[in-house]
Amino acid sequence: MWRLYPKEKALEVYTFIIEEENRNIEVCFKNFNSEEKELVNKLVKKMRENIESDWKEIKNF
């Protein structure tokens, strides 16, 4: 198990990074209705599951 701890510089920029990520998400979903957002969520979840399954097969988990 890896134990990673942020350095001072990482803690200083953390809030900025989160704000930027949230802004980018807002931009990505601009002009999407709630049904479209839900569909995107379902599709990305399905993609993640496919990737996880493939990764586990490759790594013999």
Any idea where the domains of the chain sit in the sequence? 32-61
Helix (H) or strand (E) holding 21: helix 8-28
pLDDT averaged over the chain?
94
Q: What is the pLDDT of residues 28-50, one digit of tens each?
A: 999 999 999 999 999 999 999 99
For residue 3, is pLDDT > 80? yes
How many C-beta atoms lie closer than 10 Å to residue 29's C-beta? Answer: 12
Contact 37, 29 (CB under 8 A): yes
The DSSP symbol for 29 reads: T
The DSSP symbol for 32 reads: -
For residue 60, is pLDDT > 90? no
Contact 6, 14 (CB under 8 A): yes
The pLDDT of residue 61: 64
The pLDDT of residue 1: 80
